[in-house]
Chains A and B, each alone.
Chain A
Amino acid sequence: MAVRKPPITTREYWAPGHAACAGCGCAIVMRLATKAFSEAMEEKYGDPDAFAIAHATGCMEVVSAVFPYTAWKAPWIHVAFENAAAAASGVEAAWKKLGYKGKILAFAGDGGTADIGLQALSGMLERRHNVVYIMYDNEAYMNTGIQRSSSTPYGAWTTTSPPGKYSIGEDKPKKWVALIAAAHMVPYVATASIADPYDFYRKVKKAAKVDGPAFIQVQGTCVPGWRVPPEKSVEVARLAIETGVWPLFEIENGDFRNIKFQRFPKDGKFKKPIEEYLKLQGRFKHLLKNPEAIQQLKEQIKEMWKVLGKEVELP
């Protein structure tokens, strides 16, 4: 009997021994993204190692590069919170001048993308640098102690948006950086999730093969920040897709009329109620006693799907 081959490459660029929490969803993002990228580089240039990584400050930078050691097995540069995109642009320009073959990968969290690094990202996309920018979205500033970011969803508890008598937690809707990136009319923009790893893998490979900038927003669970048990890390991300909270889509060349959706129900009716997603997480515990706030959250999700051109029904 022939031995089955895994659908992903067995090369590793993310070594064990890093300091991420047990069950970290963003560590899965790092591992799969570098694997997919190396496979794409092998197919495109014949060299799986033809890439370099620029990494903004964030959870995954802090846990992977504690000074005397590093978890990375690829050329890697750490830059300040706001300029992963700027550093990646510079590396790409230098590689072009030196005649190196390959592509640059940039990683940043949601704080480093949606809040602090937005103008550097916009500049990189506008100048059409040959960079793949991956935003791992854990929906708050987890590394400094769970402060809200503009990517925090409505109603979530964070240390700077505590729920109580006069507050329901975070009171503003989530900002979708993927849509802002798509408005730059770049070749490829996508959202992904750790709950669908092969879909994420395919998207990174596709992004690595286009000429020009690409942006991927991927949801990664944060175990201490979302107050979920470590073994439910992937399950909760899957529920986000199944309840309609997290859309999976691809936009090419800013063409908002022809968005490709993945795992979207054909009739636009999501089968699972959003409460199933909320009740697994401690950060939404207070929302379950507040049906008005849940209704508000549902309205915002419908609004988000409307922007994407879909009418949805949430049970």
Chain B
Amino acid sequence: MAESPFKADIERVKKEYSEKMTPGAVVYLPGSSVINKTGSWRVFIPEFNKDKCVRCFLCYTYCPEPAIYLDDESYPVFDYDYCKGCGICANECPTKAIVMVREVK
């Protein structure tokens, strides 16, 4: 399993994040929005079927979050901490390897 490209940011934000006002409201932590786990917005969750995947990279290209990254074999990996469940990946998937199902928590 490959690591999220934002793993370093997530760990750095845990250590250095503060809500103190800075001069000029400058934000010194790049990519610190990873502290918001937007996965809680989701109603539908993408389910991935690896057997049907042809590795066209369309879901990876279209994801607006980005909540999809690639593993060592170039298969998509879904980051459910951030996936808002918009369903673009399932709608654009040419082989229907991704389907949206209602999430039960």
The finding on whether chains A and B are genuine partners in a shared complex, rather than unrelated, reads yes
A residues sitting closer than 8 Å to B (CB atoms) are 3-8, 10-12, 14-25, 27-28, 31-32, 64-74, 194, 197-198, 223, 229-235
Which among B17, B27, B84 is the interface contact of A22 at CB below 8 angstroms?
B84
Q: A15-B31, A17-B36 are in contact. Are A234 and B82 (CB under 8 A)?
A: no
Is A234 touching B33 in the complex (CB atoms < 8 A)? no
Contacts of A4 in B (CB 8 A): 55, 57, 74
Contacts A3-B72, A22-B84: A67 and B27 contacting too (C-beta < 8 A)?
yes
* B94 close to chain A: CB less than 8 A: no
Q: Are B17 and A68 in contact (CB under 8 A)?
A: yes
Whether the pair B9, A15 counts as a contact (CB closer than 8 A) is: yes
Q: Tally the A-B contacts, defined by beta carbons under 8 Å.
A: 134
Instruction: Choose one: B19, B27, B73; the contact of A70 (CB below 8 Å).
Output: B27
Chain B residues engaging chain A, CB cutoff 8 angstroms: 5-6, 9, 13, 17-19, 25, 27, 29-38, 41-42, 55, 57, 60-67, 69-70, 72-74, 79, 81-82, 84-88, 90-92, 100
Given contacts A16-B34, A233-B86, A234-B92, is CB(A68)–CB(B62) below 8 Å?
Answer: no
Are the CB atoms of A23 and B65 closer together than 8 Å? Answer: no
Which residues of chain B have C-beta atoms less than 8 A from A18's C-beta?
A: 33, 36, 38, 65
Residues of A near B82 (CB, < 8 A) are 16-17
Q: Chain A interface secondary structure, helix, strand, loop or mixed?
A: loop
Determine whether the beta carbon of B41 is less than 8 Å from that of A70: no
Assembly CA distance A27 to B65 (angstroms): 7
Q: How far is the CA of A20 from the CA of B33 in the complex (A)?
A: 12
Q: Are B70 and A6 neighbours in the complex by a CB distance under 8 Å? A: yes
Interchain CB contact under 8 A, A68 and B27: yes
Taken together as a complex, chains A and B put the C-alpha atoms of A27 and B67 apart, in Å, by: 12
Q: Which residues of B contact A67 (CB under 8 A)?
A: 25, 27
B14 CB to nearest A CB, Å = 13
Q: How far is the CB of B11 from chain A (nearest CB, A)?
A: 13
Nearest-neighbour CB distance to chain B for A199, whole angstroms, equals 12
Given known A5-B74, A10-B5, A233-B88, contact A68–B64 (CB-CB < 8 A): no
CB-CB < 8 A to B88: which residues of A?
23, 230-231, 233-234
The answer to whether A16 and B57 touch across the interface, beta carbons within 8 angstroms, is no
23 A-B pairs within 8 Å (CB atoms) are namely: A4-B55, A8-B57, A10-B5, A11-B5, A12-B6, A15-B9, A15-B31, A16-B66, A16-B82, A17-B35, A17-B36, A20-B64, A22-B86, A23-B64, A24-B64, A24-B86, A27-B65, A28-B64, A32-B61, A70-B27, A73-B9, A230-B86, A234-B88
